[in-house]
């Protein structure tokens, strides 16, 4: 076998450095949101900005372009993985070159500072305290979009491309329009039924149950951590270093669902093919596919009626006696609610429709930051029929805008659709999973996902990956069948 071209070796070495810097940035951000003392915020903002500047310089350096120019004429002679590595490297390099390093550094600094301001404003239930940081992030996002946009492309489309290559606002609007048409009648029908009594699960019971269920799913102490954060998230710091978080409140099982959701994110990154590690291909391909993995585990495993006996057994062992039907009733109850992460499967996408509308208007200039709380409250009334009592339960509930993540939100609803589509195909291939879930036997599910979704990493974009896994492009109908069955079951 011929030795690889020197340019390929050099490119791979640079991509490995960039992967390491990304891991270190995630580690610093994880620490900021879990372990760091509050007074560390200003220094952490500078540290993250420095990491971003170094990564930006390395990712956009002239020598990468020279290596790609040397490799592209001989790409057909390279192994398939290397061909994909070169192709994606060209895309990433050109995008990086469009954004000035000073802007990328300022975006990273503003994101770190914005998250600290958001946490304080949310605790104080005061949007006005957060508004200046948000206005700064909006302007930085607009400036970033101006640099990233192709000729004729709008600013919001340019930002969507940061999270899902090829996604457009027009495509999102079409899919969300189908949801907006089909979901409200189901929501109204379900909301008219008597609601089961809410659970009152003590926090200490929730903690023990979350830890036990995660162990059932495959989480161990050697390669995983579980911590608490204001907003649940996952940080992957290496192939065998996965950090999950959840949050606990007295009452229902939100902490459990959040932990299962974050497990799906972590498993995705752990099951990317090992040969792609420390390359530009060794990560999840898009945020919509990433969210499909978290939503598949949350909705199609965690909320599955066949899995309820497992949850009931762990709750009972932790000191909260409950039977499986009560678990099903709690996890599948349909009720319009204020908080996105607490929303049921049926109403959840409507929360995303609202955020999509609002952030698109912010970026495109149709909505001022000062008017955001009123627009949020009007949208919640229009889409979900609920009244927002305060900013903490409304416009301040999500961390994303404080971190400058505009264009991210659509992936949550798209993830619900992709998850339902993948689950239908998984059960067509493996058979119904009721017996396996009742025994907490999830290894075949994880293995199917590894083969059909996780292993390719970034070698396939969202729709090509979905077509490979299911034989079809993105569709709303599998999700509507799924939630329709939930609504019919009451």
Q: Which of 75, 97, 129 is the last residue of a domain?
A: 129
The domain spanning residue 449 has which CATH number? 1.10.1370.30
pLDDT in tens, 245-289: 999 987 789 999 999 999 999 999 999 999 999 999 999 999 999
Cα-Cα-Cα-Cα torsion 182, 186, 187, 191, nearest 10 degrees, comes to: 170
The angle subtended at Cα 82 by Cα 79 and Cα 88, nearest 5°, is: 140
For residues 252 and 305, membership in a common domain is answered with yes
Residue 409 lies in a domain: yes
- Round to whole Å and give the CA distance between 267 and 288: 15
For residues 301 and 422, membership in a common domain is answered with yes
Active site residue 63: no
Q: What SS3 state is found at 245?
A: strand
Residue 78 lies in a domain: yes
For residues 99 and 241, membership in a common domain is answered with no
The angle subtended at Cα 390 by Cα 121 and Cα 197, nearest 5°, is: 120
Q: Which of 97, 129, 161 is the last residue of a domain?
A: 129
Q: Helices 80-98 & 62-71, crossing angle to 10 degrees?
A: 150
Residue 159 lies in a domain: no
For residues 173 and 123, membership in a common domain is answered with no
pLDDT of residue 189: 83
Q: Is 489 exposed, middle or buried (0-12, 13-18, 19+ CB in 10 A)?
A: exposed
Residue 151 lies in a domain: no
Q: Which residue has the tokens 């996965």?
A: 242
- Could you tell me the mean pLDDT of each successive run of 10 residues in the chain, 490 residues long? 88 98 96 94 93 94 98 96 98 94 93 94 97 98 96 95 90 89 86 82 97 98 95 93 93 92 98 98 97 97 98 98 95 90 91 96 97 97 92 96 96 96 98 98 98 98 96 93 86
Q: Is 168 exposed, middle or buried (0-12, 13-18, 19+ CB in 10 A)?
A: middle
Residue 1 lies in a domain: no
pLDDT of residue 490: 66
Could you tell me the two tokens for 294?
């978290």
- Which residues, listed in sequence order, are joined to residue 227 by a DSSP beta bridge? 245
For residues 97 and 219, membership in a common domain is answered with no
For residues 67 and 177, membership in a common domain is answered with no
DSSP 287-355: HHHHHHHHHIIIIIIIT-GGGHHHHHHHHHHTT----HHHHHHHHS-----S-GGG--TTTHHHHHHHH
Question: Global pTM?
Answer: 0.90
For residues 327 and 389, membership in a common domain is answered with yes
Residue 211 lies in a domain: yes
Residue 147 lies in a domain: no
For residues 112 and 183, membership in a common domain is answered with no
Catalytic residue among 113, 254, 262, 345: 262
For residues 221 and 123, membership in a common domain is answered with no
Residues with Cβ < 8 Å from 157, sequence gap 6 or more?
149, 168, 169
pLDDT of residue 162: 92
For residues 323 and 262, membership in a common domain is answered with yes
pLDDT of residue 6: 96
- Domain count along the chain: 2
Query: What is the span of the domain harbouring residue 51?
Result: 6-129
Q: Which of 319, 300, 296, 323 is nearest to 310 (CA)?
A: 323
For residues 333 and 467, membership in a common domain is answered with yes
Residue 37 lies in a domain: yes
First to last CA, the chain: 62
Could you tell me the two tokens for 463?
């729709």
For residues 297 and 192, membership in a common domain is answered with yes
Q: Which of 129, 156, 184 is the last residue of a domain?
A: 129
pLDDT of residue 180: 85
């Amino acid at each position: 076998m011929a030795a690889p071209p020197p340019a390929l070796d050099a490119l791979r070495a640079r991509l490995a450095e960039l992967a390491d810097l990304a891991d270190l940035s995630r580690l610093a951000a994880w620490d900021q949101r879990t372990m760091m003392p509050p007074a560390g915020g200003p220094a952490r903002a500078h540290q993250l900005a420095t990491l971003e500047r170094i990564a930006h310089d390395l990712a956009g350096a002239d020598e990468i372009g020279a290596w790609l120019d040397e490799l592209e004429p001989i790409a057909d002679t390279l192994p398939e993985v290397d061909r994909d590595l070169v192709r994606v490297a060209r895309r990433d390099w050109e995008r990086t070159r469009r954004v000035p390093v000073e802007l990328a550094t300022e975006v990273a600094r503003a994101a770190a500072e914005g998250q600290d301001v958001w946490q304080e404003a949310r605790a104080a239930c005061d949007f006005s305290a957060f508004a200046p940081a948000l206005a700064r992030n909006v302007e930085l996002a607009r400036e970033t979009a101006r640099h990233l946009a192709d000729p004729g492309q709008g600013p919001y489309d340019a930002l969507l491309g940061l999270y899902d290559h090829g996604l457009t606002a027009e495509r999102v609007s079409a899919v969300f329009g189908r949801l907006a048409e089909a979901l409200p009648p189901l929501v109204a029908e379900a909301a008219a039924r008597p609601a089961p009594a809410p659970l009152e699960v003590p926090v200490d019971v929730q903690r023990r149950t979350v830890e036990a269920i995660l162990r059932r799913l495959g989480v161990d102490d050697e390669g995983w951590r579980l911590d608490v954060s204001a907003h649940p998230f996952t940080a992957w710091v290496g192939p065998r270093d996965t950090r999950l978080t959840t949050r606990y409140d007295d009452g229902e099982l939100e902490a459990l669902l959040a932990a299962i959701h974050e497990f799906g994110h972590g498993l995705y990154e752990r099951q990317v093919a090992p040969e792609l590690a420390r390359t530009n291909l060794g990560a999840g391909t898009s945020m919509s596919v990433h969210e499909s993995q978290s939503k598949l585990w949350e909705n199609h495993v965690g909320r599955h009626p066949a899995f309820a006996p497992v949850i009931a057994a762990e709750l009972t062992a932790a000191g909260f006696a409950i039977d499986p039907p009560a678990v099903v009733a709690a996890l599948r109850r349909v009720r319009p609610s204020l908080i996105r992460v607490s929303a049921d499967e049926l109403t959840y996408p409507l929360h995303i429709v609202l955020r999509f509308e609002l952030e698109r208007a912010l970026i495109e200039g149709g909505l001022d930051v000062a008017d955001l709380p009123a627009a949020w409250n009007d949208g919640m009334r229009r889409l979900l029929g609920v009244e927002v009592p305060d900013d903490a339960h409304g416009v301040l509930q999500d961390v994303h805008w404080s971190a400058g993540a505009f264009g991210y939100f659509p992936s949550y609803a798209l993830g619900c659709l992709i998850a339902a589509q993948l689950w239908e195909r998984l059960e067509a291939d493996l058979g119904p999973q009721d017996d396996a879930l009742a025994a907490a036997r999830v290894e075949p599910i994880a293995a199917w996902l590894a083969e059909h979704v996780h292993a390719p990493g970034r070698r396939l974009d969202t729709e090509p990956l979905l077509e490979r896994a299911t034989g079809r492009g993105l569709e709303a109908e599998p999700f509507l069948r799924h939630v329709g069955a939930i609504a019919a079951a009451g």
